[in-house]
Structure 1
Amino acid sequence: HPCFFLCQRSPIIKMLNLFELFGFILLVIETLTGMVGNGFIAIVNCIDWFRSRKLSPADMILSCLSLFRFAFHAVLMQAAIFNLFFMDSFLMLKIKIAYDSLWLFLNTASLWFAAWLSVLYCVKIANFSHPLFLQMKRRFPGLVPWLLLGTGVFSAITTTVALTGNNIFSKCNPFESYLNNNNDSGINTSNSCEFLILLYVVPDFFPFAIFLFSSILLLTSLWRHKNLLQNSVRDVSIEVHLNAIKALASFSILYVSNIFVEILSIVLFRMGINDIGVHFIFLNVMAAYSSGHALILIFMSPKLKQESVRILTR
């Protein structure tokens, strides 16, 4: 994954070219935006929890999502700085497992939390008469705490399995050969290597499928309801629904883009393509996904928007 590619920069201090410097500066801006946005969401929800001693299911998911994304941005930024400027080969080899573990765990959990948030919005807002959907509408909010706990356990297990497989199938890993000045740019092709790639891809596929299905249902319901309101000439309600559709569609594009570049980065890793400029593009897309969704959540939530305006106008 992209964090791994950054770990392949061996000079202790290296001057970046113009493209790499631009990508790094953009990554810093996106990371700081994401940390501020997700940190703000987490702080607001924690203050509400401290005052009322309870959190709604949506606030539970948002709190976990924002905390994990805040940590994800911190790991991303540290990996970029250390590996681009201050790391030698020996130190990179020592911290590679730590960064891989944190990256995989935080990213997998964040994708699941975003998927559960989409499902929650779907069962709360969408209007369908199917018995299975009505049953989900009644039961899903009560399942949220258990789903969050299960997501953390599942993410830890998949991270452990993926990293264990990476150590077992070490011949698929060009990292050690790179450090040993191996000039072979290709990656060994075998069934075990294909299995290792699945360990990285499959855990992200399930939350993506859940998110995509719930988002399509919600967008369909909102669009249908918007058309009904349009026929009754209720302009205010139509505007609200259009804003909700735009926000959901924007986040869907960000989510799909994030999944796409993750899979593409693994494919390039499998092919032995280690161009740092390409992977800076991937890192910027991932950072933009997390940062952009945080901003969407803030502007679409009346509570978060009110708090942000109150802080900015002080």
Structure 2
Amino acid sequence: METLIGMVANGFIVLTNVIDWQRSRNLSMTDLILTCLSLARLAWLAAVILGVTMVSFFLSTYAFDHVHLMFTIMWVFTNSVNLWFAACLGVWYLMKIAIFSHPIFLQVKRSLSGLVPWLLLGSVVLSAFMTIINVTALKTGSSIYNPYKLLVSNSNESEIRKAAFSEMFVIINTGQNFIPLVLFVLSIIFLIISLWKHMKHLQCDGVSTSDLNTKAHLTALKALNVSTLYPSGHAIILILLNPKLKQAWVRMMPNLKCHLRKTPS
């Protein structure tokens, strides 16, 4: 159910933004990042579903080196792209909403809109490059690369090799995704600092803390929430917090209900 929700929610974000782009031939930087992030999550979910299906029902085929390698590359790459796009979203919200007067921050803020497409493209290229390096290192530097061969033959050694492979896989994948994860977390931290400074300033001036800037900070922090239902729950949060996506979802629901009523049971 979680996977299905993730597929529907992320697919809805992509479809809505693509239709909007076809109509207006214009897509905001926020919508561009959300579209890329949702596409990456759809690819990641597809890789997970295919991998689980192969292990569950076609283990003998999955045990072949080239098949196992292909699925390893798919998972590592889509997971890395996911984190890089999430980091781009965090940096974008930080630069768009946060209130800092440092010259470097202001300079980056002015030029970020033109850099967003290049940052997204660079995220894909860097993820592909790091995936090739890490998977190659995993394959050539370890005799435990493909434990599923022994699993097919019901060998006791397979469980030991699977555990060792999982440990090495986690280490390599963590190293690859360390930088985007740090960027994402720092974006949240600096948004919280900016919100705290803004609210403190308003309190000193005796102004209500429920102004538009405060609401913008809170909305951005909610949009960057690392949900335990990631990526399913996060996609739903993004829909509910984005006015355009929320309106499209509300408009779609009556049509969907009407279609379901007409569908014969």
Please confirm whether the aligned pair reaches a TM-score higher than 0.5, indicating the same fold: yes
1:87 to 58, 69, 72: 58
Residue 99 (structure 2) pairs with residue 124 (structure 1): no
Residue 42 (structure 2) pairs with residue 101 (structure 1): no
- Aligned length in residues: 249
2:243 to 302, 306, 309: 302
Q: Which residue of 2 aligns with 1:293?
A: 234
Give 1:203's aligned amino acid: Q
Q: 221-230 or 232-241, which moves further after superposition? A: 232-241
Give the Å deviation of 1:189: 11
Q: C-alpha distance in 1, partners of 2:120/2:51?
A: 27
Q: Which residue of 2 aligns with 1:311?
A: 252
Runs of at least 5 residues in structure 1 that lack an aligned partner in the other structure: 1-28, 255-284
Residue 212 (structure 2) pairs with residue 221 (structure 1): no
Residue 24 (structure 2) pairs with residue 52 (structure 1): yes
Conserved in 1, the CA contact under 8 Å of 2:202 and 2:209? yes
- Where 1:216 maps in the other structure, the secondary structure is helix
Give the Å deviation of 1:140: 1.5
TM-score by length of structure 2 reads 0.82
Q: C-alpha distance in 1, partners of 2:178/2:253?
A: 39
Conserved in 2, the CA contact under 8 Å of 1:219 and 1:245? no
Sort the Cα spacing of 1:148 and 1:52 in 2 relative to 1 into closer, same or farther, 3 A: same
More relative contact order, 1 or 2 (CA 8 Å, 6+ apart) = 1
Q: C-alpha distance in 2, partners of 1:155/1:125?
A: 28
Q: Which residue of 1 aligns with 2:215?
A: 240
Give 1:199's aligned amino acid: I
Runs of at least 5 residues in structure 2 that lack an aligned partner in the other structure: 256-265
Q: C-alpha distance in 2, partners of 1:195/1:90?
A: 23
Give 2:116's aligned amino acid: V
- Where 1:186 maps in the other structure, the secondary structure is helix
Sort the Cα spacing of 1:194 and 1:296 in 2 relative to 1 into closer, same or farther, 3 A: closer
Give 2:207's aligned amino acid: S
Give the fraction of aligned pairs with identical amino acids, expressed as a percent: 40
Conserved in 2, the CA contact under 8 Å of 1:101 and 1:163? yes
Sort the Cα spacing of 1:293 and 1:188 in 2 relative to 1 into closer, same or farther, 3 A: closer
Sort the Cα spacing of 1:197 and 1:41 in 2 relative to 1 into closer, same or farther, 3 A: closer
Give 2:133's aligned amino acid: V
1:41 to 1, 9, 13: 13
Sort the Cα spacing of 1:30 and 1:227 in 2 relative to 1 into closer, same or farther, 3 A: farther
Write the deviation string for residues 192-240 of structure 1: whole angstroms up to 9, x where unpaired.
x998765322211010011111111112212332454564135464883
Q: C-alpha distance in 2, partners of 1:238/1:53?
A: 29
Q: C-alpha distance in 2, partners of 1:188/1:40?
A: 37
Give 1:87's aligned amino acid: F
Conserved in 2, the CA contact under 8 Å of 1:41 and 1:62? yes
Q: Which residue of 2 aligns with 1:263?
A: none
